[in-house]
Chains A and B, each alone.
Chain A
Amino acid sequence: GAVVSQHPSWVICKSGTSVKIECRSLDFQATTMFWYRQFPKQSLMLMATSNEGSKATYEQGVEKDKFLINHASLTLSTLTVTSAHPEDSSFYICSALTLNTEAFFGQGTRLTVV
């Protein structure tokens, strides 16, 4: 199957700083990627849809100014958590959509804000 790489796998940052998470499709082009958030012992919640060359579409309740998404190329989408706070600590997972409409997930990024 297709490979989606997420980096970093884990990150610890101080409150008030920003953190960038990368999602790359390694062997296919993805015009659409998705970002999910997962709190401990909970399910995945869709945060936003990232479209190459256009603005991301955010789900209700997700602050677009806090979670900046950039999809500048067909193989890379980035999620930047700005002015991070401890409540932003979570597991962030991206997925990329192939041309045959199958979604492949990255390995996730565990963010801890201290």
Chain B
Amino acid sequence: SQQGEEDPQALSIQEGENATMNCSYKTSINNLQWYRQNSGRGLVHLILIRSNEREKHSGRLRVTLDTSKKSSSLLITASRAADTASYFCATPSPGTSYGKLTFGQGTILTVHP
């Protein structure tokens, strides 16, 4: 079953704006990852945040994790047309730590030039 629920399902913004995507999960985890998928392509790993971290940055990406609310957010700042893609959060399947992942439903981000 899908553990992660993401919102919004779709997000349309203009270049230069920020994009925020949210993910909720159900069971306890020790890490959460975010991936990007361009249309019809494989997954690109964006960032991993561990359960003892509250916030993590990587370039224009900012990820937060609230284990008390079982939720995470991905913020892309100063978005570009090239950021257009689907974004998924992923958590380890219950009883595992890495690799065997349960994915959220994903957010389709469209950045208009």
B binding-site residues for A, Cβ under 8 Å: 2, 35, 40-45, 48, 88, 93, 97-106
Contact = CB atoms under 8 A, between A and B. Distances in A.
- 3 shortest interchain CB distances as A-B pairs: A107-B42, A101-B98, A105-B43
Given A6-B42, A108-B42, A110-B40, A43 B101 contact: no
State the majority secondary structure of interface residues on A.
Answer: strand
B7 to A, nearest CB: 13
Interface of A: 1, 6, 32, 34, 36, 42-46, 49, 91, 93, 95, 97, 101-108, 110
Contacts of B106: 43
A36 B44 CA distance: 15
Contacts of B97: 101
A91 B40 contact: yes
